Structure formats: structure tokens, C-alpha cells
Amino acid sequence: MKVAVYPGSFDPLTLGHLDIIVRSAKLFDKVIVAVLRNVEKKGLFTIEERVKMIKKLVGKYGNIEVMSFEGLLVDFMKSVDSQIIVKGLRIGIDFDYELQMAHMNRKLSQEGVETVLMMASTEYSYISSSSVREILHFKGSIRGFVPEEILGEIYEKVGIDGGKVE
């Protein structure tokens, strides 16, 4: 069984992230969305909130799981018996970073882990979690950047009345 891991902070999950998750689920027997718990960063959402929102979005797919982790990705990969990392690429600078990480993860795993890079769909190639957080900071509308199913939760978290920005 081919198990792929799609790691990230997903703070918040965007339409681009969801697109990569769903497309990966068509290629692999099982996809684990691995939500990074970064103890050095204060996220917009707690790890539990992020996992819950993602589960809400992917619950209808039988081959997608959502888990959280902290520490080295290669250690998590070992714990879920996977040797495939899926990463999404939006722009050229993403490639430079992900190439470095792919080599690092392959070396750390003693050549056991491979990284599959998926190009972002054109309609989502400009969306990032950081840009969504910046829009939220200035009380702007994020409709069309994040899945509709979690839009209300995001607005509620930052104290925005969704009806006023739409």
C-alpha cells in the first residue's frame, strides 16, 4: 500500500492545500495530512483546531487521514510506515526550498524517503496561508482563498463579522 504524507502547518488551510490533498488522494492508496505542531511559533489556530477543520473538509474521502506531529518529519514518516512526502509548489522560490528539504529528508531517512512535488493548480497558485492571515489582520475578505466550509470558523477566530466583509 502506497501511503503518502502531506505535511504543513495549514494555519489556516487554503483552497490550494485542499486541492493538493484531493489530487494526492487520487494518486496514492492513503494520504496522511500531517499538521505540524511548531512549539516555537504562535499560530492563528491551535493544532487541535487545525486538525478539526481539516477533518471536516476531508471526511468524505475514505483514504485521507489527518494527524498532528512535532519533531522531524522523517521520524513521523517512520511511525506511519510511509516513504512518500507530497509537497505543493506555487512559485519558483518554493522549488528551491522544497528541493533542499527533499534532499535533507532523503539523507536523514538514509535514502528511504522520496518527495513528490505537485504543481499548484493555476487558480490557487497565488494563495498562501501567510497572505490569508495578512488579509485577516486588516479585516479583509478571504472568500475564495479558503474553503467555504471553514470560512465562518476563521472569521470567528479573529473576531470578524463575516457578513460585514463579504
> How far is 114 from 19, CA to CA, in rounded Å?
21
Residue 129 known to be catalytic: yes
pLDDT score at 34: 98
Whole-number Cα distances in Å, 108 to 45, 100, 103, 150: 30, 12, 9, 36
6 has which bridge partners? 33
- Catalytic-labelled residue, pool 26, 41, 42, 164: 41
Model confidence pLDDT, tens digit, residues 25-39 = 999 999 999 999 877
Chain mean position to CA 147:
13
Binding residues: 9-10, 17, 41, 73, 87-90, 98, 124-130
Residue 17 known to be catalytic: yes
- Catalytic-labelled residue, pool 23, 30, 90, 106: 90
Residue 137 known to be catalytic: no
Residue 90 known to be catalytic: yes
Give the whole-number percent of the chain exceeding pLDDT 70. Answer: 97
pLDDT score at 164: 65
Model confidence pLDDT, tens digit, residues 116-145 = 999 999 999 999 999 999 999 999 999 999
Q: Is the pTM of this model over 0.85?
A: yes
C-alpha grid cell for residue 166? 463579504
User: What's the longest Cα–Cα distance across the chain?
Assistant: 53
- Catalytic-labelled residue, pool 24, 82, 109, 129: 129
33 has which bridge partners? 6, 66
Domains and CATH numbers, the chain: 3-126 (3.40.50.620)
How many helices (H) and strands (E) in the chain? Answer: 7, 5
pLDDT score at 165: 64
